[in-house]
Amino acid sequence: MTTTYHALTEAEAIAYAQGLPNIFSPDAVLTSREIGDGNLNLVFHISDEKSGRSLILKQALPYAKVVGESWPLTLDRARIESEALQLQGSLCPDLVPHVFAYEKELALTVMEDLSDHVIMRKGLIEKNKYPLFAKHIGRFMARTLFFSSDLGMNQQEKKLRVGRFINPELCKITEDLIFDDPYRDSENNNIEDHLKDAVQAIWQDRELHLEVAILRNTFLTRAEALLHGDLHTGSIFIKEDSTKVIDPEFAYYGPMGFDIGAVLANLLLNYAGQEGWSAGETERTYYREYLLETVKEVWTVFEREFRALWDNETVDPMSETPAYQDWYMNRVLQETFGFAGCKMVRRIYGLSHVADIDGIEDAAARERAQRLALAIGTTLIKRGRQASSIDELIAVAREAS
Ligand code: ADP
Ligand code: MG
Ligand code: MG
Ligand code: MG
């Protein structure tokens, strides 16, 4: 097979997998299924009927397709994704798929098959509980963010690392879709008619715009840590006893609160979605309590583990300065509020929505969920710079409901 870039066919994916050293035996009978969502990448599930072995080939496409539109998008994001997965794997081997190979010419990553897990967004919509999730994702964020920051790695090496993860094209998607389009009448927005009044109010809210501008500036300028960059519940594979973070093609050096805020925002979007997914008040309250406990535990585990790494593993000579660690953690908390809020707002009427909300068929329940998510999101954005405890974030969700 030619290795000049082209989108692989199923037959080519099989031939490629068969040629990988030390994975399938020569007499393997391989089948392929393309299981991607088809927007940016191909995902081939390759399995051997005889041995039961399987793996995933993820190939970047040279364009993005969203709502019929198509624009060019760099294939270099496959390198970024495979390098990010490998760095994350060196810090938390149990929390990401193992990468077997990366093929630059084909923009292709060969990785562990996680088909025994489910995408967390789906699991939450089915109202499953995942008792280890907060511990897993809290540790994932503490370790990946700490050890890629100036606190946890040599500061000259870090600058070189920043250079490998500039990722301007994927960052622009975030900058436009999260920190720009939702705050003006942009053609990228995707607004249901019944929400026009709420959206108009956001377009006119100067106080809100200032906070979003500050968060956008932080996203644009603060090379603090290597972020996953797209850490929503659609990028998390989960089952009872295991959590795996996938799809870090948006990885770049940015503010830590952006990843933490993404996780919390997606828990809160499901919280809002319970307007439609719960049959009655009892069921709704019950699952919402679980979600809020999880929100709190994600932050608490992150903070505890991050502080422990700071106390035991830092390379920063100023790290023992009295009150510096407390100042740092509080700033991360404040930005987590703000980024969580931005991520909620854009999922309600921006370009790309979430199934936790749009999957609600009853129009009245969907509208209640949308308005609740907007109320929580905009309040978090406005409260962020005054925040001092995760309990305030939970109070915002409770008071809005
Ligand atoms: P995209 O960047 O296009 O969103 P993802 O990495 O999120 O691609 O993968 C898209 C879908 O492909 C996932 O939702 C999942 O269903 C499937 N998938 C991706 N990686 C794996 C994997 N390692 N094991 C099993 N399925 C996977
Ligand atoms: Mg996708
Ligand atoms: Mg994805
Ligand atoms: Mg992706």
Clarify whether residues 99 and 122 are in a common domain.
no
What total number of domains does the chain contain? Answer: 2
Whether the CB-CB separation of 151 and 319 falls below 8 Å is answered with: yes
* Ligand approaching nearest to the C-alpha of 35: 1
CA of 227 from ligand 4 middle (Å) equals 14
- Give φ, ψ of 147 to 5 degrees: -75, -10
Clarify whether residues 24 and 128 are in a common domain.
no
Q: Is 181 in the pocket of ligand 1 (CB under 6 A)?
A: no
Q: CB-based burial of residue 175 (10 Å sphere; 0-12 exposed, 13-18 middle, 19+ buried)?
A: middle
Is residue 231 in some structural domain?
yes
Distance of alpha carbon 396 from alpha carbon 295, whole angstroms: 12
Clarify whether residues 98 and 128 are in a common domain.
no
Clarify whether residues 237 and 326 are in a common domain.
yes
Is residue 182 in some structural domain?
yes
pLDDT of residue 3: 77
* Ligand approaching nearest to the C-alpha of 352: 2
> Mutate which of 77, 112, 246, 354 to test ligand 1's pocket (most atoms within 8 Å of Cβ)?
246
Distance of alpha carbon 168 from alpha carbon 222, whole angstroms: 14
Is residue 2 in some structural domain?
no
CA of 37 from ligand 1 middle (Å) equals 8
Is residue 230 in some structural domain?
yes
Cβ atoms < 10 Å from Cβ of 147 = 20
Distance of alpha carbon 385 from alpha carbon 8, whole angstroms: 48
DSSP 275-336: HHH-SSHHHHHHHHHHHHHHHHHHHHHHHHHHHHHHHHH---TTTTSTTHHHHHHHHHHHHH
Clarify whether residues 271 and 317 are in a common domain.
yes
Clarify whether residues 104 and 192 are in a common domain.
no
Clarify whether residues 305 and 215 are in a common domain.
yes
CA of 87 from ligand 1 middle (Å) equals 19
Q: Is 375 in the pocket of ligand 1 (CB under 6 A)?
A: no
DSSP 356-393: HHHT--SHHHHHHHHHHHHHHHHHHHHHGGG---HHHH
Return left, alpha or beta for 327; rule: phi > 0 is left, psi -120 to 50 is alpha, else beta: alpha
Is residue 20 in some structural domain?
yes
Residue that terminates a domain, selected from 97, 112, 127: 112
C-alpha 5: how far from chain center: 28
Is residue 1 in some structural domain?
no
Stated as kind and residue range, the H or E segment containing 245 is strand 242-245
CATH value at residue 168:
3.90.1200.10
pLDDT of residue 1: 57
CATH value at residue 69:
3.30.200.20
Binding-site residue numbers for substrate are 230, 346
pLDDT of residue 354: 98
Q: Is 41 in the pocket of ligand 1 (CB under 6 A)?
A: yes
Clarify whether residues 373 and 296 are in a common domain.
yes
Q: Is 359 in the pocket of ligand 1 (CB under 6 A)?
A: no
- 3-state class (DSSP) for residue 236: strand
Is residue 62 in some structural domain?
yes
Distance of alpha carbon 361 from alpha carbon 74, whole angstroms: 36
CA of 3 from ligand 1 middle (Å) equals 23
Contacts with 55 (C-beta within 8 Å, 6 or more apart), sequence order: 17, 23, 46, 100, 110, 111, 112, 113
Q: Is 355 in the pocket of ligand 1 (CB under 6 A)?
A: no
Is residue 5 in some structural domain?
no
Whether the CB-CB separation of 252 and 166 falls below 8 Å is answered with: yes
CA of 38 from ligand 2 middle (Å) equals 7
CA of 330 from ligand 4 middle (Å) equals 30
Contacts with 85 (C-beta within 8 Å, 6 or more apart), sequence order: 96, 97, 99, 109, 111, 248
Residue that terminates a domain, selected from 57, 88, 112: 112
DSSP 183: G
Clarify whether residues 101 and 125 are in a common domain.
no
Q: pTM for the complete prediction?
A: 0.98
| Closest C-alpha to ligand 1, atom 19 | 43
Residue environment code for 93-127, b if the CB has 16+ CB neighbours within 10 A, otherwise e: eebbbebbebbeebbbbbbbebeebbbbbebbbeb
Clarify whether residues 80 and 172 are in a common domain.
no
Whether the CB-CB separation of 219 and 174 falls below 8 Å is answered with: yes
> Sign of torsion, CA 147 248 390 182?
positive
Clarify whether residues 71 and 202 are in a common domain.
no
Clarify whether residues 202 and 129 are in a common domain.
yes
Closest ligand 1 atom, residue 111 Cα: 23
Distance of alpha carbon 137 from alpha carbon 235, whole angstroms: 12
Q: Containing domain of residue 97, as a range?
A: 10-112
Whether the CB-CB separation of 127 and 287 falls below 8 Å is answered with: yes
Stated as kind and residue range, the H or E segment containing 3 is none
Closest ligand 1 atom, residue 115 Cα: 25
- All residue ranges of the chain with pLDDT < 50 are none
Residue that terminates a domain, selected from 112, 140, 161: 112
